[in-house]
Amino acid sequence: VQLVDSGGGLVQPGGSLKLSCAASGFTFSDSAIHWVRQASGKGLEWVGRIGGKPNNYATTYGASVKGRFTLSRDDSKNTASLQMNGLKVEDTAVYYCTRNYNFFFDSWGQGTLVTVST
């Protein structure tokens, strides 16, 4: 099982950025993909999840990003994405994608850094 995060970078407040998570080594369409972020020196924060085909690709978002972030996936490319709009300085963090297997996170990407600053 492998997950590779990408797409991070520097963006101004109010801007947009799209992160990607490329998966391999498992049946991607059956798996829920979650995103977790970590600001520098801070703890882990759950961002949201997109379910797999068995769950009709249902999405749930954390309160701090609801209405600004959108999760999607392309099972034909084994890729999940996190579209981030209306970015705020407090969204600055390393973002990890992770596979959820039976209510726990068994595999993680390496993380991609998002910096929101002028």
Partner 1 sequence: QSALTQPASVSGSPGQSITISCTGTSSDIGAYNYVSWYQQHPGKAPKLIVYGVDSRPSGVSHRLSGSKSGSAAFLTISGLQAEDEADYYCTSYTTTTAFVFGSGTRVTVL
Report the C-alpha gap between 111 and 95 in whole angstroms: 5
Among 80, 93, 96, 116, binds partner 1 (CB under 8 A): 96
Which whole-number Å values give the CA distances from 57 to 9, 15, 30, 33, 38, in the listed order?
A: 27, 27, 9, 10, 25
Residue span 44-83 as binding mask against partner 1, x where in contact by CB under 8 A, dash where not: xxx--x----------x-xx--------------------
Report the C-alpha gap between 36 and 5 in whole angstroms: 11
- Which of these segments, 15-23, 69-77, 78-86, 98-106, binds partner 1 (CB under 8 A)? 98-106
Tokens 């049946």 locate to: 27
- Contact residues for partner 1, defined by CB under 8 A: 34, 36, 43-46, 49, 60, 62-63, 96, 102-106, 108-111
